[in-house]
Amino acid sequence: MTSSDERSRKPRRRLFWLAAFILVLFALYSGGWFYLAGRVKTEAERAVVELGGKGIKADCANLTVSGYPLSFAVACDSLAYQDDARNVAASTGDFNAVARFTQPLSPVADLRGPLRTVAPGMPPLWLDWDQLHAAVKLSWPLPRLISLQAEGLSGQTDPADDTDPVQLFSAGQAAGQLQPNGQDIVYTGSFGDLKIDADAIGGRALPELDGAGEATVKNGVALIAAPPKSLRGQAIDIARLDLSSGTARVTVSGPVSVDADGLIDANLKIKLKDPKAVAAILAGAIPEHKNEIEQGFAGIAMLGSEPSMPLKIVKGKASLGFIPLGKIKPVE
């Protein structure tokens, strides 16, 4: 055997072993994909059975797993949950979640409305949207990020209820995300073109509103794991909360907490842009206090076009600067 023959065989061996290695990887990937697909179906069925044993009805109708080999997709024709003991129920249209081969830990999902809900102390609600998109960045023990984006969002009381449906609101777009920060949860969100129907607020009139904000829910990780039955003992730190309509804008920031007796404590900073425009909106929304609002904001307008002032609440007693506002009832 000549040296040239030996040199020609070496590349062929490397190519053979490379092809064999790729085939082994593909076989392992394929086995893992179909194993995970089977586990998804098995665990979903098990969860439905376990909930049924507790008197809770849950369903992911026509569950399918697809997308092999370049993605992993889970789809249902509809989602439903019903707990008669707690008078809680929710149902939606079809659900489709996809994790791409290139980003397995960043699945995205789309959900079709309407979302119909029943909860204690509330009328049955019907929420709908043109598009609802969710994204998750998975990590351990909690996701690094959960985000939602909706377009053409609207809400009304459920038309399937015995009473005539009442239109509640509509919004051109809305977005929100949750992100853990140690033991806290940071929420950021925004909405635009929000219209609140007058019938939903006792015939009062509000213009279209835009809003955005960021807040930190203290000890939020534990609250998600075991949702509290009361707001008492909870705290939130508002980094920024903006509400605007036209030239009018209100910005709020500062900490808010609720003690064990339900009394609110807060140390907030309120900043106004165009106080006269803000006063006009409030006077339209609270016409029975129109004179007081106009007189109070006339004084505030003397501080400039963008005045700011402290809003303090101590054990439920609120004051705006040196002006007492009265007492807030304890919350449940």
**pLDDT attached to residue 8:** 57
- In this prediction, residue 9 has a pLDDT band, given cuts at 50, 70 and 90, of low
- In this prediction, residue 300 has a pLDDT band, given cuts at 50, 70 and 90, of confident
Radius of gyration of the chain (CA): 27
pLDDT for 1 beyond 60? no
- On whether residue 192 sits in a domain, the answer given is no
pLDDT for 161 beyond 60? no
- On whether residue 4 sits in a domain, the answer given is yes
**pLDDT attached to residue 198:** 87
The percentage of the chain sitting over the pLDDT mark of 90, rounded to a whole number, equals: 56
Domain count of the fold of the chain: 1
Q: Is 83 exposed, middle or buried (0-12, 13-18, 19+ CB in 10 A)?
A: middle
* Letter string b/e over residues 59-68, b meaning 16 or more CB atoms within 10 A of that residue's CB: bbeebebebe
- On whether residue 53 sits in a domain, the answer given is yes
**pLDDT attached to residue 162:** 57
- On whether residue 228 sits in a domain, the answer given is no
Return the minimum-mean-pLDDT range out of 2-6, 30-34, 67-71. 2-6
Q: Tokens 């609101």 map to which residue? A: 169
Instruction: Identify the domain containing residue 87 by its residue range.
Output: 1-122
- On whether residue 207 sits in a domain, the answer given is no
Decide if 271 contacts 307 (C-beta within 8 A): yes
**pLDDT attached to residue 101:** 85
Decide if 207 contacts 246 (C-beta within 8 A): yes
Tokens of 32: 């893992």
- On whether residue 21 sits in a domain, the answer given is yes
CA–CA gap between residue 89 and residue 229 (Å, rounded): 17
- On whether residue 182 sits in a domain, the answer given is no
Q: Tokens 């369903």 map to which residue? A: 59
pLDDT for 151 beyond 90? yes
Model confidence over 189-246: pLDDT tens digits? 999 999 999 888 888 889 999 999 999 999 999 888 787 878 899 999 999 999 999 9
Model confidence over 254-277: pLDDT tens digits? 999 999 999 999 999 999 999 889
pLDDT for 167 beyond 70? yes
- On whether residue 240 sits in a domain, the answer given is no
**pLDDT attached to residue 153:** 96
CA–CA gap between residue 134 and residue 178 (Å, rounded): 12
CA distances to 110, 175, 234, 332 from 147, rounded to whole Å, are 12, 7, 23, 29
